[in-house]
Amino acid sequence: MGYVAIKGGGKAIAGAEALLDYLRTEQGEAGLPLDTHTIETQLRYLHSRVMSEGGLYHPTLAALAIKQSLGDTLEAAFALRAFRSTQPRLLESPLLDTRNLRVVRRISSAFKDIPGGQMLGATTDYALRLLKMQLLDESPEQFRAIAKAWLADTPQTDIPDTFPKVLDALRAEGLLPEPQPAAGTPFDITREPLVFPVPRSAALATLARGETGSLLAIAYSNMRGYGDVHPTVAELRVGYLPVLLPHPISGELIEAGEVLITECEVVAMYGKAEKGQKPTFTLGYGACFGHNEVKAISMAILDRALQNGQANGKPQNPSEDPEFVLLHVDGIDSMGFCTHYKMPHYVTFQSDMDRLRTTQQQQQEGKA
């Protein structure tokens, strides 16, 4: 489908693309090009969001996608996902144990005191939402001095890389069921279409790659009353997860690197117990690439809601309906359908006008 009425054809389209580069550089000599390292470090939350929604953990290419798209998160995630689709799949990692997470932030809303203690890390949660006007004119010297001052005041004490799981304490008391081994091979949403009903692994994979705002909106509908999940965050973790891959010769698992992830486990009210079993709390789980706590919490709430819908045999609200949730949270799909309306619809609209004119004519003839 092309813009057949536009003068210039391919030349006009190429010019439209070139105009994007002009907008990116229109400051000319007064501006400085953003390098990918600057985007990765100074726009870390934006960067994390694009990696998560793009479904590819590649910090440099995620930063490049942000730069190329002028900060449009959906376009950046689209470009990253498109690149991923061109790459061969060489190896698959085994299931990774998040107990080995090298934690940089770890909190619990369920308990004041948890094994290892609360670790606030870097967050805006406890800061006033006031603009720091001094950042408008921040010199390189001031910028570098902040890091130097922080490192100078950091105590040289040994801090453990990871901590015991809060859920382990609940399971020890019998307040949570023991984790069940995964049934079958995890569903691969990059190679298999979603044909409902889908297993929980497909739902979790779709949510993990979903658009942050979409997940938040549907999860918020549940929080406000269109659902029955009112959870407590048992544990929220941000940290670096070691990735193990089999050695190509020996087959022995070796650490190939680590990825920054956000993990959230929420505890909800206990459900109906099976006959002969005692009631326990229910659990929702969320995890995504990068540092994105809102997405991980929203994902955990939706995971719990979808499990409720399955347990009840029929969804009671939109957030419990897997078809409604999973087919509407992917930002790339949503953006694609939305932006396709900008493409030529000449033939279909001409048909609509013909039908309307015919209807108006018939109405006039009926009155005559």
Q: What is the pLDDT of residues 158-215, one digit of tens each?
A: 667 788 899 998 999 989 988 877 777 899 999 999 999 999 999 999 999 999 999 9
Both 113 and 222 in a single domain? Answer: yes
The pLDDT score that the predictor gives to residue 272 is 67
Both 34 and 149 in a single domain? Answer: no
pLDDT tens across 101-126, in order? 999 999 999 999 998 899 999 999 99
Residue 201's contacts (CB-CB under 8 Å, 6 or more residues apart) are 182, 186, 187
Both 230 and 208 in a single domain? Answer: yes
Both 104 and 81 in a single domain? Answer: no
Determine the structural domain holding residue 56 and report its residue range.
12-85
Q: Examine the pLDDT at 150 and tell me if it is beyond 90.
A: no
- Asked whether residue 359 is domain-assigned, the answer is no
Q: Examine the pLDDT at 49 and tell me if it is beyond 70.
A: yes
Q: Mean of the pLDDT values across residues 74-99? A: 93
Q: Examine the pLDDT at 2 and tell me if it is beyond 60.
A: no
Question: Does residue 287 sit in helix, strand or coil?
Answer: strand
Do the beta carbons of residue 40 and residue 60 sit within 8 Å?
yes
**What confidence category does residue 262 fall into, taking pLDDT thresholds of 50, 70 and 90?**
very high
**Lowest mean pLDDT segment, chosen from 24-38, 104-118, 131-145, 167-181:** 24-38
Both 48 and 148 in a single domain? Answer: no
Closest residue by Cα to residue 74 from 259, 214, 264: 214
Q: Write the burial class of residue 299 (CB in 10 Å: 0-12 exposed, 13-18 middle, 19+ buried).
A: buried
Could you give the dihedral angle defined by the CA atoms of residues 253, 258, 262 and 267, in that order, rounded to the nearest 10 degrees? 20
- Asked whether residue 349 is domain-assigned, the answer is no
Round to whole Å and give the CA distance between 77 and 348.
Answer: 31
Both 61 and 203 in a single domain? Answer: no
- Higher-pLDDT residue of 347 and 289 is 289
The pLDDT score that the predictor gives to residue 7 is 59
- Asked whether residue 357 is domain-assigned, the answer is no
- Asked whether residue 363 is domain-assigned, the answer is no
For 57, phi and psi rounded to 5 degrees?
Answer: -90, 95
Segment holding 325, helix H or strand E? helix 322-326
**What confidence category does residue 87 fall into, taking pLDDT thresholds of 50, 70 and 90?**
very high
- Asked whether residue 282 is domain-assigned, the answer is yes
- Asked whether residue 348 is domain-assigned, the answer is no
As for how many domains the chain has, the answer is: 2
- Asked whether residue 291 is domain-assigned, the answer is yes
Mean pLDDT estimate for the chain: 90
Q: Mean of the pLDDT values across residues 38-61? A: 97
Both 183 and 113 in a single domain? Answer: yes
- What does 137-206 look like in DSSP terms, one character per residue? G--HHHHHHHHHHHHHHS------S----HHHHHHHTTSSPPPPPPPSSPP-TTTS---SS--HHHHHHH
The pTM for the full model equals 0.91
Both 145 and 211 in a single domain? Answer: yes
Both 221 and 322 in a single domain? Answer: yes
Both 194 and 49 in a single domain? Answer: no
**What confidence category does residue 90 fall into, taking pLDDT thresholds of 50, 70 and 90?**
confident
In the chain, the percentage of residues whose pLDDT exceeds 90 is 63
Both 153 and 277 in a single domain? Answer: yes
Beta-carbon neighbour count of residue 254 at 10 Å? 11
Both 198 and 106 in a single domain? Answer: yes
Do the beta carbons of residue 273 and residue 279 sit within 8 Å?
yes
Strongest mean pLDDT among 147-161, 261-275, 304-318? 304-318
